[in-house]
Structure 1
Amino acid sequence: MTDTHSIYRTVQFARVLGPFLAITSIVAMVRTSRVEVASAELARSALWPMVLGALGILGGITIVTFHRRWRGGAAILVSSLGWLLVVRGLLLMLFPEWSADAVDRSLGASALWLIVDLGFGAAGLYLVYIGWWPPQRTFASSEHTESP
């Protein structure tokens, strides 16, 4: 894989992950009370930790498989998010009660919740910028030439 192709892939992942992180962080900040209710319901359920954990692992493995670049801020962020999803999915499936307790503890420490949420929101906005407003550059591969 050429370096140009790797950069193009980083931009494509940034286009998906950026808005996702930004939107979910904003919603979580605005609707913190709903996050608390959802966390409590998740702790009582046997099904949802398995389903959400499996989906997290699937998404994380997809990122890890198709994005193996670790050079540059955006590339490191994308790859790290992939691994974070894998680990989070495994923890949710293997230790659902502990995972729910961890969310409850962070919600209880409102400053920590706000800092983490703002951090993910800022990461999302950074990826939105990288994915949707990069300087004009051409990404060439053997199959096509595109300008994101």
Structure 2
Amino acid sequence: MTSTATTALDAQRRTRAFARVIGPYVAVFTTIYAIRLPSLQGLTTELFADPVPVLMLGALMLGAGLVIIGLHRNWRGPLAVTISLFGWFVAIRGFLLIAVPDTLSSAVDATMLSPTGLLVARVFFGCLAVMGLTLTYAGWRR
């Protein structure tokens, strides 16, 4: 096998490995979150009331996103693009939690208080759940 073919095969294996981990996590978490979203308003208010957990959550998300970005440099094919974009999404959310937590808190409050915003958020999390199921299938299929 040539070096280019080996590199491409390694990239595909890495993409599937990321899909095996990220897919089930996203599918489970976002499904539960979409269902429970209306009852979580108090939780988000409490989370943003104390800067320490927000800073820790932001740091963990930024770190996790950077791990995905750093270890998954493949942008060939829809599965690989989805994994890479997810890494950037998580890293940017982590950065924003660290840099502008008050802005995010206001946005969450506005979303939770608006029936339309709440519906849009539930649909968004539902779409993420479908993405997670797709990643799970693609990562675990033979």
| TM score, norm. by length of structure 1 | 0.85
- 1:124 matched to which residue of 2? 132
| Conserved? CA contact 2:24–2:133, under 8 Å | yes
For residues 1-148 of structure 1, what are the structure 2 equivalents within 5 Å?
Answer: 2-107=7-112, 108=114, 109-133=117-141, 136=142
CA deviation string 1:65-121 (max 9, x = no partner)? 100011111100100011111110010011111112222233331221122111111
State the secondary structure of the residue aligned to 1:39.
Answer: helix
Structure 2, unaligned runs of 5 or more: 1-5
Identity %: 31
Letter in 2 for 1:78: I
State the secondary structure of the residue aligned to 1:31.
Answer: helix
CA shift, 1:15, in A, is: 0.4
Structure 1, unaligned runs of 5 or more: 137-148
| TM score, norm. by length of structure 2 | 0.88
CA shift, 1:13, in A, is: 0.2
Letter in 1 for 2:85: S
CA deviation string 1:9-49 (max 9, x = no partner)? 00000001000110011110221134322211122111011
- How many residues of Structure 1 are paired with residues of Structure 2 in the alignment? 134
User: Which has a greater percent of helix?
Assistant: 2
